[in-house]
Structure 1
Amino acid sequence: MNARSSYSCFSCFHLFFLVVLALFRLCSSDQNSHHVLCNDVERQALLRFKHGLTDESQRLASWVAENKDCCTWAGIACDNSTGHVHRIHLPGSDGHCDILYDGVTLKGEISQSLLDLKHLKHLDLSCNDFGGIQVPKFIGSFQNLRYLNLSYSNFGGSICRSLGG
């Protein structure tokens, strides 16, 4: 093997190594710095929703206006690429509906502001205590809702006919 072919292989190896290193750096920085914050309209809708609730156990303590990223709030999940809220998962009593834990349930009113969550697919408010209020009629208006759980949450009345239609 002469010096010229040895130099050529050495250069190809270094070039390959630099390309792999650059790709690794690009991918790792993309995952860490490309976090999309939640949509501001949706963040405001969640704050209005919280305002109508009584939360004696402080489960929603992370839901504050100062925290601009509602995707990091307890019980909220967002689409990683768009930042739209797609999941509200707030079952009371730690999801154990057969056991009543004092103060671990949400109470109050369900705000119509939730309709501003146009991409909501999952809503779980099970095992809470809404004091016998009527199931809100607007619940049937969510276009993308695929999962709804209001069981054992002390709602009165019937669920609107448009739900699931």
Structure 2
Amino acid sequence: MVGNGRRMNRLVAFLVVVCSAVSGCRAWDCSAADKQTLLDFKNGFVDTNGVFNTWSDSTVNCCAWKGITCRESDGAILEINIVGSSGTNQQPYRSPSYQGTVGAGLVALTQLQKLKIEWVLFNGPIPQQWGDFSTTLVLITINNANLRNDIPSTLVNIQNLRHLDLKNNHLTGSIPSTFCTHKKINYIDVSYNDMTYLLVPPCLVNQNNLTVIFDHQGNSTSPGYPAAGSTLTVSSLLLAIGALTTALLFL
């Protein structure tokens, strides 16, 4: 009986090795629904330089696509990490024929933890639907993507979001005051956008565990106000508000 048990263990170990070498027998192939969600996202762009060239319907397992990380136990998509080219006119850009908001459907990836996209041009707003991301999502980084309009206040509904990096876009308005009630967020970067001068809500002053990085397009001369690309702290924002108030009194 002992010999049989050892032979069985060796057989199991052998099969594990074989399965590791043959992609077709992996247990972590992505689901058909998740694969279609990714293809729908890809189809929102004109991609002349092949940033998404591994994202193909002919590839059965989307866990093998570039920029996709899956959980080995069940194939659930945990991370999207897409970096396009920084070369002039070499980025994927929003397809003129696409109906709807590019990226809205990504909320169907219910196990997604990290969403990182750079040099892929959305040429439009951050989807309001992103507020419906599941509680697994902890990080959003969308840089150099030509995001426009205001940051949707619905993002506060992502309960476990900790890191929000939206630098180098064309966002307007200010940081939504709804983030003042968010219990987990500890980092926001909105530097190098087209946001208003007073883009940081005063209620964020009391968030000692929150870092906000921002700038003012280099057109601010008010004394004491943090320079472009500054990191916000409680003390620096208090000094900034005080300096601005003083300046306004002498106008």
Distance 1:17 1:80 in 2: 27
Segments of structure 2 that go 5 or more residues without pairing to the other structure are 95-100, 158-251
* Cα 1:153–1:111 shift into 2, 3 Å: closer
Distance 1:47 1:20, change over 3 A: closer
Given residue 121 of structure 1, which amino acid in structure 2 is its aligned partner?
A: Q
Q: How many pairs does the alignment contain?
A: 147
Structure showing the higher strand proportion among its residues: 2
1:107 corresponds to which of 93, 101, 121: 93
Give identity over the alignment, percent.
Answer: 23
Task: With the length of structure 2 as denominator, give the TM-score of the two structures.
Answer: 0.51
**What is the TM-score when the length of structure 1 is the normalising length?**
0.74
Runs of at least 5 residues in structure 1 that lack an aligned partner in the other structure: 1-13, 94-99
Higher relative contact order (CA closer than 8 Å, sequence separation 6+): 1
Larger radius of gyration: 1
Task: Spell out, residue by residue over 1:1-55, the C-alpha distance to the aligned partner (whole angstroms, 9 max, x if none).
Answer: xxxxxxxxxxxxx889857744542442353433421100011111111111111
CA RMSD in angstroms, aligned pairs only: 2.6
**Is the contact between residue 56 and residue 103 of structure 1 (CA under 8 Å) also seen in structure 2?**
no
Match of 1:134 in 2: 125
Q: Is 2:104–2:128's contact at 8 Å kept on the other side of the alignment?
A: no
- How do residues 60-71 of structure 1 correspond to structure 2 at under 5 angstroms? 60-71=52-63
Structure in which a larger fraction of residues adopt helix: 1
CA distance in 1, matches of 2:118, 2:4: 57
- Other-structure match for 1:9: none
Query: Residues of 2 paired with 1:20 and 1:117: CA distance?
Result: 37
Query: How many Å separate the matches in 1 of 2:6 and 2:29?
Result: 34
CA contact (8 A) 2:27 2:74 kept: no
The one-letter amino acid paired with 1:107 is Y
The counterpart of 1:58, out of the listed 50, 57, 70, is: 50
